[in-house]
Amino acid sequence: MGNRRVFTSENILAAIFWLACCTYPFLHNTYFVNNFTYYFIMIIFMMSLYVLWGFTGIFSFGQAAFFGAGAYIYGIVSKINPDNSALNILGILMAVLICFSAAAILGMFIYYGHISANFIGIITFCLSLVLQTFMTQTSGPEWQVLGVPLGGYNGLNAIPSISIMGFSFEKNSMYFLCMALAFVFYLIFRKMQHSRIGYMLFGIRENAERSELFGYNTAWISTLVFAAGGAIAGFAGVLYASWGSYVVPSTLGTSISFIGVIIIALAGRYSITGATLFTFIYVWFTRFLASQGSAYSQIVQGILLVLIMLFIPRGIGETVFSLGDILIDKLIPKKKVKKDQVQKEVTRYAD
Amino acid sequence: MQTDNMILSIQKVTKNFGAISAVSDFSMDVKKGEIHCLIGPNGAGKTTVFKMITGVYPPTYGKIYLKDRDITNLSTSKKMKMGMSIKMQVPGVYSELTLRENIRIAAQNFTEEKMIEEEIERLIDEVGIRDLGNPKVKNMSHGQQQWLEIAMALAAKPELLLLDEPAAGLGPDETDFTANLVLDLNAKGMTILFIEHDMNFVKKIAQNVTVMNNGKFFAEGDLDSILNNEGVAEIYLGKEAKVC
């Protein structure tokens, strides 16, 4: 609250990260740039869960349902006529709007139905599982939407890239689009952390009943947040479908949901910067292990995850930033300031 | 039914949980500007009454009026914007956040953003917790958390403040501090309705007392009349005993 320091390890690492991302395409070939584009999509997907779990304490195990739904909706609408740029835009809008509406309806049942927080994870998990199972069996010719076959286990292929006014986002331009969007989401959520909305959501996360007694309509707020999370996940799904040109039923499935949960659990629920950087590192690391072709890669991942959970329970992000700040305090001598200013700062930042 | 000097009127409320009746046909009035205490043995239904007033539990039957307005079926969040606030039995604070962040969450719903810092400072001074600094709430003592929660409750600028066991778990000095705080708030015109088991605390601050037993109204009167009521002594401590 109030005045905050600029030269924190969080700010420094964030600046280095985003600057490095800006320069990356100029230093590497298209193959690597294309891979990195996927990392930004996963960052946006992670943020859809972060706004729920990190800000508001809503544990969703089914964000992939909205991610996959967004990908499918965009794929279907844009494939009606791949050359029609307007349909492409319509596909994006419909994906976001439908995911928002579906999440809002589900959220209303959950929050106005006073369903226990423990069951939200189970309900969202089931949603993801049901959608994946359903889409898997849509292989017959009778399974078409707007004339586009759903493709069953094989899903949709040859999905057009996002196109605005005739400009198609592919390769490097897709990289910069996804990076810019991830950066915008990152800035919004960082700003939110110390805003009126942020504190309102933190209050609901920490003690929803108490927040209700401070005059907050927690059911309405939680429903809106749940809907916003669904919309962001759906939007990430649109980017995914555009990036890969395909979507399959497993995109709706639990394994992608697990990735989001694991990333936020390990990175920590209290730092959007930590979660963003860790998403990048985690996705890169898992891909790196997979590329080694070793059957033990998932075992290595599992062991690392358990170790982090055991020894860094508040998450890597917050721990690294705390240690970094201690280091910065030692390296950079503080300016001499008046005694009353020190007292004011101590009062503000004690603990 | 209402009169000008009543701020809260509870009329024949009943709360059933399935076949169990936690509160039955209970009525009480709280006058503007008084410090009113609700006492009774454990399980008498006092906290359930508070939860019905705040809307956490809707009454099964009966009516509740705040400043002549029927608030029986209003949602909790709406009720809390009508000049009422509560400090809960178990400190309802946000333990992972700092003292100032806690007050901010409580205050921002009732204060313009540009005035929020001033309001936080005002509340800190009003409750007298400036010396605590700005620790994370989970590192504060139970008593300090109680005071913080009172500061948070005051953020709503309430006319009626509900305190559920404000002295529970406090040492003698902390109890005195809390008693003086409540008296100060009352001197500024705030009406206080509180639940308390500590009779020494009740004797220090209460003006009128309502007694509950087994979910029902048992007795009501000024402090002296209740302390000398043999029936009250009996339900509290058994026969041959006195409350004081």
- Listed in sequence order, the residues at least 6 apart from A186 whose beta carbon sits closer than 8 Å to its beta carbon are A14, A18, A43, A47, A272, A273, A276
One of 1.25.40, 3.40.50, 1.10.10, 1.10.3470 is the CATH number of A23-349, namely 1.10.3470
Q: What is the pLDDT along chain A (351 residues), one digit of tens a residue?
A: 545 577 888 899 999 999 999 999 999 888 889 999 999 999 999 999 999 998 998 888 889 999 999 999 999 999 998 888 889 999 999 999 999 999 999 999 999 998 888 889 899 999 999 999 999 999 888 899 898 889 888 999 999 999 988 888 988 999 999 999 999 999 999 999 889 999 999 999 999 999 999 999 999 999 999 999 999 999 999 999 999 999 999 989 888 888 888 888 888 878 899 999 999 998 888 888 877 776 676 777 778 778 887 888 778 888 888 888 888 888 876 655 555 554 554 454 444
* CA pair distance B192, B160, nearest whole angstrom: 6
Clarify whether residues B39 and B148 are in a common domain: no
Interface test with A, best of B52, B76, B105, B140 (most A CBs within 10 A): B105
So what's the pLDDT on residue A341?
54
Cβ distance of B92 and A200 shorter than 8 Å = no
So what's the pLDDT on residue A1?
55
Q: Identify the weakest region by mean pLDDT among A4-8, A110-114, B145-149, B189-193.
A: A4-8
Cβ distance of A200 and B108 shorter than 8 Å = yes
Cβ distance of A199 and B96 shorter than 8 Å = no
Question: How many folded domains does chain B comprise?
Answer: 2
Nearest CA in chain A to B114: A196
Task: Determine the straight-line distance between the first and last CA of chain B, rounded to whole angstroms.
Answer: 34
Q: Among B154, B170, B189, where does a domain finish?
A: B154
Clarify whether residues B114 and B194 are in a common domain: no
Q: Identify the weakest region by mean pLDDT among A266-275, B112-121, B136-145, B192-201.
A: A266-275
Structure tokens at A111: 């929050």
Q: Do the bridges between strand B6-17 and strand B191-195 make them parallel or antiparallel, or are there none, so unpaired?
A: unpaired
Residues in B lying within 8 Å of A, measured between beta carbons: 54, 56, 75-78, 80-81, 85-86, 88, 92-98, 100-101, 104-106, 108-110, 113, 117, 130, 133-136, 139, 152, 155-156
- pLDDT digits over B1-12, tens only? 455 688 999 999
Q: Which amino acid is at B223?
A: L
Structure tokens at A185: 């989401």
- pLDDT digits over B88-122, tens only? 888 789 998 999 999 999 999 999 999 999 999 99
So what's the pLDDT on residue A350?
44
> Would you call B234 exposed, middle or buried from its count of C-beta atoms within 10 A (0-12, 13-18, 19+)?
middle
Q: Among B154, B174, B195, where does a domain finish?
A: B154
CA distance A207 to chain B (A): 6
- Residue B160 and residue B66 in contact, taking contact as beta carbons nearer than 8 Å: yes
Q: Among B154, B171, B203, where does a domain finish?
A: B154
Nearest CA in chain A to B136: A351
Clarify whether residues B120 and B100 are in a common domain: yes
- In terms of residue numbers, what domain contains B140? 89-154
Q: At what angle do helices A254-267 and A316-331 cross, to 10 degrees?
A: 30
Helix ranges (DSSP H) in B45-169? 46-54, 76-79, 99-107, 116-127, 142-154
DSSP state of A336: P
DSSP-based three-state secondary structure for A196: helix
Structure tokens at A106: 């589900």
Nearest CA in chain B to A346: B133
So what's the pLDDT on residue A326?
87
Clarify whether residues B171 and B76 are in a common domain: yes
Clarify whether residues B97 and B187 are in a common domain: no
So what's the pLDDT on residue A336?
52
So what's the pLDDT on residue B91?
78
* CA pair distance B187, B200, nearest whole angstrom: 20
**Cβ count near A326 (within 10 Å):** 11
Clarify whether residues B68 and B166 are in a common domain: yes
Cβ distance of A216 and B113 shorter than 8 Å = no
DSSP state of A333: P
DSSP state of A166: T
- Residue A203: which of B86, B94, B139 has the nearest Cβ? B94
For residue B19, the Cα-to-chain-centroid distance in whole angstroms is 28
Clarify whether residues B10 and B62 are in a common domain: yes
What φ, ψ does residue B119 adopt, rounded to 5°?
-65, -40
* CA pair distance A308, A263, nearest whole angstrom: 11
**Backbone dihedral region of B189: left (phi > 0), alpha (psi from -120 to 50 degrees) or beta?**
left
Cβ distance of B156 and A215 shorter than 8 Å = yes
CA B130 → CA A44, B77, B154, B173, distances in Å?
41, 29, 15, 17
**Residue B210: its H or E element:** strand B208-213
Q: Which amino acid is at A339?
A: K
Helix ranges (DSSP H) in A268-296? 272-291
Clarify whether residues B117 and B139 are in a common domain: yes
- Residue A346: which of B78, B101, B133 has the nearest Cβ? B133
CA distance B51 to chain A (A): 10
Interface test with B, best of A210, A216, A222, A270 (most B CBs within 10 A): A210
- Across all residues in chain B, what is the average pLDDT? 90
So what's the pLDDT on residue B1?
47
- Residue B136 and residue A351 in contact, taking contact as beta carbons nearer than 8 Å: yes
Q: Which residue has the tokens 């069996």?
A: A137
Cβ distance of A206 and B76 shorter than 8 Å = no
So what's the pLDDT on residue B98?
93
Clarify whether residues B28 and B130 are in a common domain: no
Clarify whether residues B76 and B2 are in a common domain: yes
- Residue A52 and residue A226 in contact, taking contact as beta carbons nearer than 8 Å: yes
**Residue B241: its H or E element:** none
Indicate whether B237 pLDDT > 80.
Answer: no
**Backbone dihedral region of A315: left (phi > 0), alpha (psi from -120 to 50 degrees) or beta?**
left
* CA pair distance A254, A204, nearest whole angstrom: 26
Q: Bridge partners of B219? A: B211
Q: Which residues of A touch B106 (CB under 8 A)?
A: 214
* CA pair distance B201, B183, nearest whole angstrom: 11
Indicate whether B221 pLDDT > 50.
Answer: yes
Indicate whether B241 pLDDT > 60.
Answer: no
Q: What share of chain A is helix, strand, coil (3-state, %, to 5)?
A: 75, 5, 20
So what's the pLDDT on residue A261?
86
Cβ distance of B94 and A210 shorter than 8 Å = yes
Q: Which residues of A touch B80 (CB under 8 A)?
A: 212-215
Q: Which residues of A touch B88 (CB under 8 A)?
A: 210, 213
For residue B72, the Cα-to-chain-centroid distance in whole angstroms is 18
Cβ distance of A214 and B94 shorter than 8 Å = no
DSSP state of A258: H
What average pLDDT does range B162-174 have in this prediction? 89
Q: Which residues of A touch B77 (CB under 8 A)?
A: 212, 215-218
**Residue B216: its H or E element:** strand B216-222
Structure tokens at B22: 């936690």
Q: A161: closest CA among A246, A227, A234?
A: A246
So what's the pLDDT on residue A2?
47
Cβ distance of B92 and A349 shorter than 8 Å = no
Clarify whether residues B164 and B202 are in a common domain: yes
Clarify whether residues B166 and B61 are in a common domain: yes
Instruction: Tell me the three-class secondary structure of A50-68, residue by residue.
Output: HHHHHHHCCCCCCHHHHHH
